[in-house]
Amino acid sequence: MSELIDRVGDLVREAAQTVVLPLFKKLDASDVREKGPGDLVTVADQRSEKLLTEGLLRLLPGSTVVGEESVAEDPNLLRRICETGPVWLVDPLDGTGNFTFGRTPFAVMAALIADGELCAGWILDVTRDRMAVAERGSGAWVDGVRVTTRSDPAPASTLRGAVMMKYLPREMAAEISMRVGDIAAILPSQHCAGAEYPDVVSGVQDFVLFWKTLPWDHAPGVLFTREAGGVARRLDGTEFQVTDRQKGLLVAANDDIWADVRATLLGTR
């Protein structure tokens, strides 16, 4: 597996360096379109997914690739993540909005699942050339250095984290807005899951609350966080499963922080 980990990492870097970066701040109007209201796709997304799809199928013959842009064209492809055998999830350019408008962060991400279970994940922060990698049961690394989350409990009044308020149901957003004073800081969204998860692991923030949980956005980060010692659970306390269709996901550096944040922001424990 270690050889595959390295080879996929090389492929992800190739997509970033040969497809994504050369187009950063160089897109023409014709290179960008809406695939849904407020949901942008660029030629960089499409070309990156093509390179990754072809490369991943070569690396693991007999596997299946489920990419964000392919599913946008044919939503039925999403059903393949429930198939038996190895399936790749590909986010060819996470943070497309940032990328389109010449901002950072943005990432290239991939995950390997087998029989619906997370096996490995890769997150490349493109402009920093920082690679976060996780393998189930073996740990999490950033640029080859093993990483772990903070393990100490902490009162909610000292915790900092991001909340994706834009997508929350109105009542939940209103409740959280009334409780923000009980948390040290609610940070703005970075509009890039590939940045939010590593920031929880590294301690830049203690938690992040998502509502939309498309599998290619979250599979790599969930595994990376878990293998580093953190937690990623649905708001009812159940573990994230890559094949489910629920919404709402709270990610935190450890169990105590997860429970304190949920109790403080949502009034449940």
Residue 133 CA: distances (Å) to CA of 21, 116, 157: 20, 19, 31
Q: Is residue 91 a known part of a binding site?
A: yes
In whole angstroms, how far apart are CA 132 and each of 55, 72, 122, 144, 248? Answer: 19, 26, 6, 8, 23
| Residue 14, marked binder | no
Q: Is 260 annotated for ligand binding? A: no
Distance, in Å, from the CA atom of 75 to the CA atom of 148, rounded to the nearest integer, reads: 36
- 93 marked ligand binding residue: yes
Tell whether the torsion through CA atoms of 236, 237, 243 and 248 is positive or negative: positive
- Any binding-site annotation on 143? no
Locus of tokens 């250095």: 145
DSSP per-residue letters across 125-183: ETTTTEEEEEETTTEEEETTEE-----S---GGG-EEEE-GGGS-HHHHHHHHHHGGGS
CA 146 to chain centre: 19
Binding-site positions:
68, 91, 93-94, 217
Binding-site positions for Mg(2+):
68, 91, 93-94, 217
